A = this chain, B = another copy of it.
Amino acid sequence: MFGEYINNTEDPKKYELWVPKIKAYRERLQEGVKPEYSLPDYSLPSEEELERGIDARALAAKCLTGEEIEITSSSATDLVQRMATGQLTAVEVLKAFAKTATVAHQLTNCAMELFIDEGMKRAEELDAYFAEHGETVGPLHGLPVSMKEHYAFKGKIAHAGYVGKLDNVSDEDLAIVRDLYNLGAVFYVRTTEPQMLMHLCSNNNITGKCRNPCNTLLTPGGSSSGEGAIAAMNGSAFGIGSDIGGSIRGPAAFCGVWGLRPTTKRISLAGVANPYDDQSPDVVYPTLGPIGRSADDLALCMKAVIDQNPWEKDPLVLPIPWKDVPEPEPKKLKIAICYDDGFVRPTPPVLRALKTAKSKFEAAGVEVVEWKPLDVQKIVYTCYVAYNFDQNYGQKARLALSGEPVVHLSQKHLSFGLGDGAVSGLEVQRLVNIRDKYRCIYMDKMNEMGIDYILTPAYVSVAAKPETITYWGYTCLWNILDFPNVSFPSGLSVLLEDRVDKSFKPRNEVEEYEYSLYTGPDDFVNAPIGLQLTGRRYTDESVIQAAKVLAEVMQDELTVTQRAVL
A→B interface (CB under 8 Å)? 270, 276, 278-282, 311-316, 318-320, 389-391, 393-394, 422-430, 432-433, 435-436, 439-440, 442-443, 447, 482-483, 536-538
Contact = CB atoms under 8 A, between A and B. Distances in A.
B433 A278 contact: yes
A429 B280 contact: yes
Nearest to A446: B315
A276 B429 contact: yes
Nearest to A443: B315
A315 B281 contact: no
Given A280-B429, A390-B424, 14 more contacts: A276-B429, A280-B430, A280-B432, A280-B433, A282-B429, A311-B537, A311-B538, A313-B447, A315-B442, A315-B482, A315-B536, A316-B440, A391-B425, A422-B425
A486 B502 CA distance: 66
Interface SS majority for chain A: loop
Nearest to A318: B318
A276 B437 CA distance: 13
Contact of A315 (B279, B311, B315, B537): B537
A538 to B, nearest CB: 5
B282 A432 contact: yes
A393 B315 contact: no
A435 B276 CA distance: 14
Nearest to A276: B429
9 contacts: A280-B433, A280-B436, A281-B432, A311-B538, A312-B447, A313-B447, A318-B538, A390-B426, A390-B429
Nearest to A314: B440
B428 A425 contact: yes
A270 B439 CA distance: 12
Contacts of A313: 443, 447
Contacts of A281: 429, 432
Contacts of A483: 315
B426 A425 contact: no
A536 B422 CA distance: 37
Contacts of A280: 429-430, 432-433, 435-436
A40 to B, nearest CB: 49
Contacts of A422: 424-425
Nearest to A386: B425
Contact of A393 (B278, B426, B432): B426
Given A276-B433, A391-B424, A432-B281, A439 B316 contact: yes
List the 6 closest A-B pairs by CB distance, nearest first. Answer: A389-B425, A279-B429, A423-B425, A280-B432, A390-B426, A280-B433
